[in-house]
Structure formats: C-alpha cells, structure tokens
Chains A and B, each alone.
Chain A
Amino acid sequence: MRERVPKIVRGPTPRRKEDDQVVYIDTNSAPRILFSGEDLLLEDLPIGTRVVYPKPPIEGLANPGAAIRYALNHPLGTEPLYAQLAPGMKVTIAVDDISMPLPPMVTPDVRQTIIEILLEMLDANGIDDVHIIIATSLHRRQTKAEMKRMVGAKIFDAFYPDRYYNHDAEDPDGMVNLGVTAHNEVVNINRRAAESDLVIYVNINFVPMNGGHKSMAVGLCDYQSLRAHHEPETIRQSDSYMDPKRSMLATKIGRMGALVDEHMKVFHIETALNNRMYAGATAFLAKNEDEFTEFDRMKFEGMRWTLSKLPPAAKRKLFQSIPAPYQMIACHAGKTEPVHEKIVERCFEQYAVNVRGQADILICGIPFISPYNVNSILNPLLVQVMALGYFHNMYRGQPVLKKGGVMIITHPCLDEFDHNHHPSYIEFFNRLLPETRDAMKLRHKYEEEFAHNPSYIEMYRRGNAYHGAHPFFMWYWGENGRQHVGHVIVAGAKNAHVPAMLGWQSAESVTEAIAMARGIVGPSPEITLMHHPPIVMMDVE
C-alpha cells in the first residue's frame, strides 16, 4: 500500500459536503478495503467515487444492568414489570435468536444480562413457572453450545432443556390460532406463549426492520402466518423494509402484532446496540483507509496474507470466532409500539448517514456473514439476500442507486452450501433457479411443496436446518432490489455458473466490473461505495 500524507494537505477539497461519513476519492486517496466473503480486497477506485462510511460507534451505556432495571421500572405505556407480577403466574420469556447481532457479541450477551435480571425479579415475586423460548420462527434451531453462550452457563444449566428451548413452528400441538386480521392474515402463535399469563419479549434491535410487532408475530409464528407477508408483493411495496414507516412488511406485521397484543399480555424489552463490530487487532476494518497508521497497514497486510493462505473453511472459522464488542446504547420496555419507536430512533441515530443524490453504480463488498449463516456458509442465495436484500434496502427516502443502475458486489460466489443448515436451499438453487427466477412463479408453483416436504420439516424440527420454505423467503427478500437494480456484476467470482444462475454478470476484478458498468450507464457515472462493515444506512436526499 502506498505511503499516505496527512489528510489536511491531501488533494483537492471534496466536491460537495455531505455527512462527515461521506468521503470522495481523489488523486491521493488510499485504496479501499472491501470484503469479498472471507477475503479482503484492496481496490483503487476511480477519482470522484463517493465512499460512505458507517458512523463511529455511539458510546455504550456505562451500566447496562442499571439501564435495564430502569427500563423495567419505568416502562412506556404500561405498568412497571414488578407491578404486573403475582405469585403462581405462568410466565414465558421469548428471546431473539442467534441471527442477531452479527457477528455474535462478546459474552455476556445483552440477552443474558436482561434474562438474569428478569429471573431474579420473577423469583422474588414467587413465580416458578417460567419458560425461556428462543423465537426462531422458521430459522434453524440453535445448538446446545449456541444456546449456552447466549444466556450463560448458570441459566442454561437451570433451564435447559425442559424450560429453555427453541420455538418449533411445526409442532402439531405447539401452536394455537389467535384469529385473523381484517385483511385475512392468519395469526398462529406458540402455544406456551399464548397460554402464559405474561410474555416478556427480550429483543436486540440490530437493524430497524426487527423488533416491534415482528418480535412476537414473526418470532413465535408458523409458516401459515409468515407467508402472509413473506411474499414478493409485500416486499415490492416496501420502500424500504428497513424504513418501518414506508414498509408494507412492517404494516402487515403490525396488523398481526396488534391481534397478538389483543389476546396476550406482552411486555417488550428492546435494546439498541452501537456498531462497534471490530476492536483490537481488527479495529482498522472500520476505519477510513486515508487515516490508517503504519501499524494499521501492517495489520491489514498481515491479515490479508494469512487469509490468502487458508482454505475457505478455516477462514470462515477464523472470522466467526471473533466476537463483536457491541455495547448497549439504549434499553426501553413496555408496550410494543412506544418501545419500538424509541429504539428505532436510536438505531437510526447510530446507522443513518446523510447522502446527497443517487448513484449510477453502487459498489458493496459482501462479507462472510448474514443473519442466516451464523457458524455456517454464506451460500449463493445468501449472497443474493445480502446484495439485493439487505444492502439495497439500507436506505430511507430513496435507494442510493438510481433505478436501473448497476450494483457491483465482491464475493467469490462459491457453489457451497451447508447441508445441515440449508438443505432446502440446495434444491431451490439447483432445481428451481434454472427454471425461473421469477419470485411470483416460484411462490405459486413451488413454495408449498418445499414448506411441506417431510424431510425438510424433520430436519427443521430435529436437526439444525432452516425451514423448507426459507430459501423462498430469501429470494423474496431480494425482490425490491431485483425490481430496482438494472444489473448486478460480481467481481471476483470463482466460477461463472453461480452468478449466471442468480441472473448476474461476472468480472475478474472491481476495475473490470466498473468498466463493464460504464458500458451500461454511460462513461461518467456517479459511483458510490458502501463501506462495510459495520452497518451503514443512508438517508438519501
């Protein structure tokens, strides 16, 4: 990497002042680091490229325990938790699963801290009938080790397996129907939760799409309920699904959640985390490359060299074994909507960056992880969901990419799937995608077949597999991205067939991909790089 001079004497002044997190590449700019799965790329970007960095982490709360207790005692829209408790009550604590935060946070996990406080309080009020349910919805069951890590050994030893377990959406005796909404959306929910005197939901709001009514109405529901909104039309009408106010997904889930609140007594505890994804030896990954020290450069080169020598599985293991030192920046409790509103506000404070104007070309480095492959492989469908789903939807107002623009992603796109976690993805990818990429056709022709496939159901219930319908949801998740983005070009794909199956083009490098994109959008495109990780959302003027 070439020598950097101090920033104040570097090159011309940026053309337009936007947010502090927005930087324009000039003649003296350093190359930028991009994730490409488990590899790190160093790319020289064209002069004028806009690079959007995440905001620096908001300082975490000094005493999370005190903040949690305060939230429990000063809830929004309801009585303090202690006032709602009575001896002999049946209480269920539902908790968000391992899909967030990413990567899993350093222990003690926020969920552990909250549940420890809750259990103390429940015990002090003479409540023994307590179950802890991981609200997995149709996600995979967490393994014993993952469950233990999430709540700590003490709670695990006391509650596992009879009183601490994963939600099972396919248990014929484990679900109850609460009715239908005015829009005919069927609301089925976990029986134990529905039959409890009180449900306490413990949430980590990692992205603004999560939390609120989604916690209960999605986390503890079944396939029939989920398919009311996990479908292509709803996603097309969500602009974006990370912006609850303009999300049809949030609207539908809100209707179903309101029905849950009508029938059940639910006390929500929501938390927001900062975006301190990396610290110590890997902290440089979140820095502006122009501000790298010599030591940062050495660390980067060392890491890149090490990664280049390791096989993919070892690289994956290495990355997934680095827990994120996230800190809690807010905790609120009480009724669903006021709590969620406060937390989403705090999330946006951490994530939202103001940018002016849309781009013709958007560049995203796809990292090694998504909500759906913790301790597993980011398979081709998940690469798709990261690109056209999550990254495309990280905006408020309008997408950062112009309609019909080109999205360039960096990822090796290996044809590799986890047989234990994603068995139905394999069939979806190899059998269905060659026939059609049309989300509507896939839903109507094949979704139910996969959802009711007895093998996939058993693997979901007894193994650690995502539900048979899950790959469809992942495909729909990319639907508004697919409708909006004109072309996707994968830079650095290790094969031609995976990008082709996804309907994408391939390029050897980012430079070649930009040249190809210029051929599509014209010779002087506006280019934007979303610098991940950690999370950045854009308020696009």
Chain B
Amino acid sequence: MDGTLVSTNIVHAFLYNAKNQQGVLKSIVKTAATVASIPLFLGADLYNRRLLNDLFFMRYKGESEDRLRYLADELFESAIRPSIFPGAYELVEKSKEMGLRQVLVTGALDLTVRPLAEHLGLDDYVTNRLEFVDGVATGRLLPPVMAAATKASWMRTYAERETLSLSDCYAYSDSMSDLPMLSIVGHPTAVNPDFRLRATARQHDWPVLDLR
C-alpha cells in the first residue's frame, strides 16, 4: 500500500498519532522521538522489512485502542486520502473492469488501511494488527505479521481457499521486500519501484509502472 497506492508510509501514520497525543508536552516528546528514530527505521527497512515492523510497532505501546481508531479516520481524511497517487484510482478501476478481485496485502495497520480500502472500493484486505490487552496496545503485532515472505504465504493460502489460480493473479508492489509476493503470481508488476526492485523487474521482464 505505502509507496504503491499512496505516497505516505507507516511513519506518517505514527507521526500523526504522535502529534495528536493528549497533552502538548506528550505530543512534542513523542513526535521528537519518532523523528529521531527515522534513520533507524530507514536502516532497518533496507535490512529487513520485518525488523522495521518489529521496531516500529513497539512505539505504539501504551496507546489506547479507542483513540487509535478515532485518529485513523482523521488520518485518512487529512493525510492518506490526499496522498493517493492519481494513477492508483485508474489502476483499481481498470482491474475492476477486467473482473479482477481487489485484495490489499499490506504491512500497515488495519486501523489505517480500512478507510482506504473502503474509499477505493476494494474487495478484501489483510493487514498487520496490533495486540491490545484491556484496550491498550502492547507494542506487539498479532501473527501472522505481514511482511516479505509472509505476504506470499498468505496469498497462497488465500488463493487456495478462494479457489483462485495464482498464475492468473496480478500483484503490484513498490518494494524489493515484496519480491516473494511478486514472484508467486502470473502477472507481477513493479509500481513506483525503488532501485533494487526496478533492476529486478527489468531482469525478469516485469512491467514497471509509475502511478505518481
């Protein structure tokens, strides 16, 4: 989702939450801590998307579920919706015309993904989910954690359950970390790809799209 359909990413979502803490001081501290961690996130993302997720979602520890849900709608309207790539609407529309089922497979949180999926009229989505105990986030993710090969594995299971042929499926991603997911479908496409994915797509003769 992030970088493929919208220009925001999970850090934007967390920053939005950080900025909207109850209390100015708390907001400043949380925002500053998040900003200071950005180099760490970038490094972790380059190394392993799973590591990034682990590090990143830890920061949600102590947040209340109600508040996160409440902020998610605001986040969508103020940050995510304006960041949807113009081509994303067309891509979704064209694939609907083709009779394809739309499934969003993302490492973002369900709280932030739901409004987007509804907005784009997608059929299904699978996301990462925070673990809440007594309505408070523990900072851990509920399994399965959606990243890298887990996405591919989930897609296999989904296809089997829904009796879909993966060779007839299309997959779109912007990141090299999604290579497993791209590799298992018949029609993989790199979207707004980073350098590594672009090079890989070229090597495999996959289409490369720019939806920006």
Q: How far is the CB of B198 from chain A (nearest CB, A)?
A: 10
A-B contacts at CB below 8 angstroms, number:
55
Interface contact B205-A454, CB-CB below 8 Å: no
Given the interface contacts A458-B87, A462-B87, does A452 sit within 8 Å of B94 by beta carbon? yes
Asked if B209 lies at the interface with its beta carbon under 8 angstroms from chain A, I say: yes
Closest to B188 in A: A455
Q: How far is the CB of A169 from chain B (nearest CB, A)?
A: 13
Interface contact A423-B97, CB-CB below 8 Å: no
Query: What class of interface size applies to chain A in its complex with B?
Result: 20 to 34
Residues of A near B100 (CB, < 8 A) are 454
Interface contact B90-A419, CB-CB below 8 Å: no
Asked if B95 lies at the interface with its beta carbon under 8 angstroms from chain A, I say: yes
Interface contact A419-B209, CB-CB below 8 Å: no
Given the interface contacts A419-B208, A430-B205, does A454 sit within 8 Å of B87 by beta carbon? no
Given the interface contacts A452-B94, A452-B98, A454-B94, does A419 sit within 8 Å of B205 by beta carbon? yes
Residues of A near B117 (CB, < 8 A) are none
Asked if B170 lies at the interface with its beta carbon under 8 angstroms from chain A, I say: yes
Residues of A near B209 (CB, < 8 A) are 455, 458-459, 462-463
Closest to A420 in B: B208
Asked if B187 lies at the interface with its beta carbon under 8 angstroms from chain A, I say: yes
Q: How far is the CB of A454 from chain B (nearest CB, A)?
A: 4
Asked if A453 lies at the interface with its beta carbon under 8 angstroms from chain B, I say: yes
Closest to B172 in A: A455
Q: How far is the CB of B90 from chain A (nearest CB, A)?
A: 6
Asked if A475 lies at the interface with its beta carbon under 8 angstroms from chain B, I say: no
Instruction: Tell me which residues from 70 to 124 in chain B have a Cβ below 8 Å from any Cβ of chain A.
Output: 87, 90-91, 93-95, 97-98, 100
Asked if B211 lies at the interface with its beta carbon under 8 angstroms from chain A, I say: yes
Contact of B90 among A423, A452, A453, A458 (CB under 8 A): A458
Asked if B207 lies at the interface with its beta carbon under 8 angstroms from chain A, I say: yes
Asked if A457 lies at the interface with its beta carbon under 8 angstroms from chain B, I say: yes
Residues of B near A453 (CB, < 8 A) are 98, 170, 187
Given the interface contacts A462-B87, A462-B210, A462-B211, does A457 sit within 8 Å of B205 by beta carbon? no
Residues of A near B87 (CB, < 8 A) are 458, 461-462
Asked if B177 lies at the interface with its beta carbon under 8 angstroms from chain A, I say: no
Cβ contacts A to B, 26 pairs, < 8 Å? A170-B94, A172-B93, A419-B201, A419-B205, A423-B207, A426-B205, A452-B94, A452-B97, A452-B98, A454-B91, A454-B95, A454-B98, A454-B100, A455-B91, A455-B170, A455-B209, A456-B207, A458-B87, A458-B91, A458-B211, A459-B208, A459-B209, A462-B209, A462-B210, A462-B211, A463-B209
The 9 A-B pairs at the shortest CB distance, nearest first, are namely A454-B94, A454-B95, A455-B189, A455-B207, A426-B205, A423-B207, A452-B98, A457-B94, A458-B209
